[in-house]
Structure 1
Amino acid sequence: MFIRRIHHIRHSISPQRTHGAVRRLLALLSAIAMTATVAACGQANTTNATGTDGTTKVTFMLSWAPDTNHIGVYVAKNKGYFKQAGLDVDIVAVAQAGAEQAVNNGQADFALSNLTNVGVYAVKGAKIKQVMQVQQKPSAIWCALASNTSITRPKDLDGKTFATFGSSESDAVVRRMIQTDGGKGEFDKVTVGTSTFQTLSSGKADFGGFYATWEGVQASMYGPKLNCFTEPDYGVPGNADTIGIITNDKTISTNPTLVRKFVQAAKKGYEYAYSHPNDAASILVKEAPDANLKPAFVKRSMKTIVDGNYWGDPAKIKDGSFTFGTNDVKGAQEYFDFLAKEDAYTDSHGTVVHNAPKARDLATDEFLK
């Protein structure tokens, strides 16, 4: 079982305590819970209430603690884009069983997720779909402490200890990177307690997984210094981090107007954040006070996103040759096929599924224009 981009603990977390390890732990728990419930629960019959001001009440669920992946939704709310669309959006903490299951069951109208997660849940019986993709290229990084001079390239990870939560996906990715660099792809593993950073610093593990736009920024600003490798440079195909907004199939079929309004307003929020990163960072800090985010940290995260063109090429967005929010089904499918070959998919009964989910059936761009 695995979930890309793992859910954060729901209480307040400062950037110094944020780490991919916690995301992986909660995702693993979510996947376990889902195995027993998603197929049975199905999609709830929900009707969106209308407020006294005539707006339609909508619930958007975080996929972990507030961060720059969610920033466009916070901007859209702060700037009044949702209200202009006739929506009263409530941004809520991630459910215990995960945002994907909450959307599948109708407990939330929309949530942040990614096509990799949607594929995992679809194999287990969920009926959810991604309706806008924000991130257009992978941000996962696999790192050792810079002070560990025995690791200078993925091949050096052979025989070392991986700080993990037992994710089949992570194992497949690390193995492929090592083998592409000329190694055997053999490594030991240790289960992370709370912090991958702490696990590496204590010497209990030699390397672990992080994300360039968040933990990578954290390490750069606050330490510890890292030596990192990226997936595409070492043989992992496709786009693993297709982060975007999801809803369930029933909402799409019964209330497409609601989906279009939400997507259009959220898209406007993300586009504003991409063009005005510092202002958007200030909005996130203001709108999510319980997250205890430091303004300088959030601004640096947004700078990393903008400088790295993580949300798309600004020039192509400006000239209209690329529509912001387009789903990368080709890149997602390449990654899905890779995971299927590694036997990383299981159904709701825990049985290995050898056929990869079809990305084209799990995403739609119809609400972007």
Structure 2
Amino acid sequence: MRTKNLLSLLLGSVLLFAAGCGNGTKAPAEESGGEESGNAPAQVKNVKVMLDWTANTNHTGLYAARDLGYYKEEGLNVEIVQPGAGGTDAMVASGQADFGISYQEGVTLARTQGVPLVSIAAVIQHNTSGFAAPVDRNIKKASDFEGKSYGGWGSPVEEAVMKSIMDIDGADVSKVKMINMGDADYFTAVKRDIDFAWIYYAWTGVEAELRGEPLDMIYVKDYSEALDYYTPVLVTNEDKIANDPELVKAFMSATAKGYEYAINQPEEAAALLSKAVPELDEELVLASQKWLSPKYQDDAARWGEQKAEVWNNYAEWMFERKLLDKPLESEQAFTNDFLPNTP
């Protein structure tokens, strides 16, 4: 998973909803060989989960739930797939995928455009993304962006976030040179023509450590409470919640167990992910998992918990900067109702 590809989805999520929403079809049920009480045949439900990009440690809990049999215990046959051409949010909203990995900003944009996405869990409790630069660029705070070259992808969100944190430091975003990174990854781009870029530390930052290329990291959440939003999140659509809540409940019960496994056993979870997706760098997966595992739940009462103020704060921030056409009705954008062990 390259930072460019992941952040291009994160920052360009407004484009994901141009595809509109069609009528989805439910996956067919299969009869298993086992029997429930009363000698009735057990029904196994096929479920499709769509990732946001290539598999990485943000997704470990899904693979753990699948490969350790947690989904099977709930009567689910789960297929984990790469995003479709229309984007994960559009595929989930239209019912072409049952569940997916998205981001709070993507769901926020979707909801304000009439797309029926609903976030059902925060994969990571706090925002682990931010602006990163090799230490030799001497970028220690947002005001140091002035006179430097930023590698991005032209999303309005990028400049809005940069301006927001630079304003706090009394700096001028117009003094940053914006460069389109194209297909280059972070490590190629900073050696070629940029000074800093927006990354997820759990992947690109950890990879920099392994390469022996230390970074200065400016987390956006450290500048503004509004920028401590949920990224990524698990999503489904309103139809699934209304018409098959037991499926959503079963899926979340098993998924929570998968993430709890990744929280409590990072080394074993990393090995499981590497086995499931052998093309990933095994050393990076292990190091990333060790860094990320404590951050899935962090200070929340349980894994997946979402707070209304987090949704409201970020939506208000977006609306004030004209990134939304209208305010978000946050109570419809997320729910904690399907998390196990409800307080």
TM, length-normalised to structure 2: 0.90
- Give the match for residue 84 of structure 1: 73
- Assess if the C-alpha contact under 8 Å between 1:162 and 1:205 holds in 2: yes
- Assess if the C-alpha contact under 8 Å between 1:73 and 1:269 holds in 2: yes
State the Cα deviation string for residues 28-58 of structure 1 (Å, max 9, x = none): 77743632x21xx344242542244431111
Question: C-alpha displacement at 1:143, in angstroms?
Answer: 1.4
Q: Distance in 2 between matches of 1:306 and 1:47?
A: 32
Is the aligned partner of 1:312 residue 2:283? Answer: no
Q: Distance in 1 between matches of 2:330 and 2:8?
A: 25
- Assess if the C-alpha contact under 8 Å between 1:56 and 1:87 holds in 2: yes
- Assess if the C-alpha contact under 8 Å between 2:66 and 2:72 holds in 1: yes
Residue from 301, 308, 317 that aligns with 2:288 = 301
Q: Distance in 1 between matches of 2:93 and 2:305?
A: 22
- Give the match for residue 168 of structure 1: 156
- Give the match for residue 19 of structure 1: 2
Question: C-alpha displacement at 1:295, in angstroms?
Answer: 2.5
- Give the match for residue 36 of structure 2: none
- Give the match for residue 257 of structure 2: 268
- Give the match for residue 321 of structure 2: 342
Question: C-alpha displacement at 1:271, in angstroms?
Answer: 0.6
- Paired residue type of 1:207: F
Question: C-alpha displacement at 1:160, in angstroms?
Answer: 2.2
- Give the match for residue 50 of structure 1: 30
* Change over 3 Å in CA distance of 1:237–1:32 after alignment to 2: closer
- Assess if the C-alpha contact under 8 Å between 1:57 and 1:89 holds in 2: yes
Comparing 224-233 and 19-28, the one that deviates more: 19-28
- Assess if the C-alpha contact under 8 Å between 1:73 and 1:266 holds in 2: yes
Identity %: 28
Report matched runs for 1:193-204 at 5 Å: 193-194=182-183, 195-202=185-192, 204=193
- The gaps in structure 1 that reach 5 residues or longer are 1-17, 317-321, 346-352
- Paired residue type of 1:174: M
* Change over 3 Å in CA distance of 1:297–1:196 after alignment to 2: closer
- Give the match for residue 3 of structure 1: none
- Give the match for residue 185 of structure 1: 173
Task: Tell me the SS of whatever aligns to 2:24.
Answer: coil
Question: C-alpha displacement at 1:310, in angstroms?
Answer: 4.2
- Assess if the C-alpha contact under 8 Å between 2:262 and 2:293 holds in 1: no
Comparing 256-265 and 132-141, the one that deviates more: 132-141
- The gaps in structure 2 that reach 5 residues or longer are 34-42
* Change over 3 Å in CA distance of 1:209–1:27 after alignment to 2: closer
Question: C-alpha displacement at 1:221, in angstroms?
Answer: 0.8
Is the aligned partner of 1:361 residue 2:332? Answer: yes
- Assess if the C-alpha contact under 8 Å between 1:330 and 1:359 holds in 2: no
Q: Distance in 2 between matches of 1:251 and 1:173?
A: 33
- Give the match for residue 310 of structure 2: 331
Q: Distance in 2 between matches of 1:215 and 1:177?
A: 22
- Assess if the C-alpha contact under 8 Å between 1:27 and 1:98 holds in 2: no
Q: Distance in 1 between matches of 2:110 and 2:304?
A: 21
- Give the match for residue 39 of structure 2: none
- Assess if the C-alpha contact under 8 Å between 2:122 and 2:230 holds in 1: no
- Paired residue type of 1:221: L
Question: C-alpha displacement at 1:177, in angstroms?
Answer: 1.4
The root-mean-square deviation of aligned C-alpha atoms, in Å, is 2.0
- Assess if the C-alpha contact under 8 Å between 1:136 and 1:328 holds in 2: no
- Give the match for residue 348 of structure 1: none
Is the aligned partner of 1:155 residue 2:134? Answer: no
Q: Distance in 1 between matches of 2:10 and 2:29?
A: 31
- Paired residue type of 2:166: I
Task: Tell me the SS of whatever aligns to 2:80.
Answer: strand
Is the aligned partner of 1:286 residue 2:271? Answer: no
- Give the match for residue 349 of structure 1: none
- Paired residue type of 2:189: T
* Change over 3 Å in CA distance of 1:218–1:84 after alignment to 2: same
Q: Distance in 1 between matches of 2:10 and 2:169?
A: 29
Is the aligned partner of 1:109 residue 2:98? Answer: yes
Q: Distance in 1 between matches of 2:225 and 2:188?
A: 27
Is the aligned partner of 1:73 residue 2:62? Answer: yes
Q: Distance in 2 between matches of 1:193 and 1:133?
A: 30
Q: Distance in 1 between matches of 2:216 and 2:288?
A: 18
Task: Tell me the SS of whatever aligns to 1:213.
Answer: helix
Task: Tell me the SS of whatever aligns to 1:108.
Answer: coil
- Assess if the C-alpha contact under 8 Å between 1:285 and 1:295 holds in 2: yes
* Change over 3 Å in CA distance of 1:67–1:106 after alignment to 2: same
Question: C-alpha displacement at 1:145, in angstroms?
Answer: 1.7
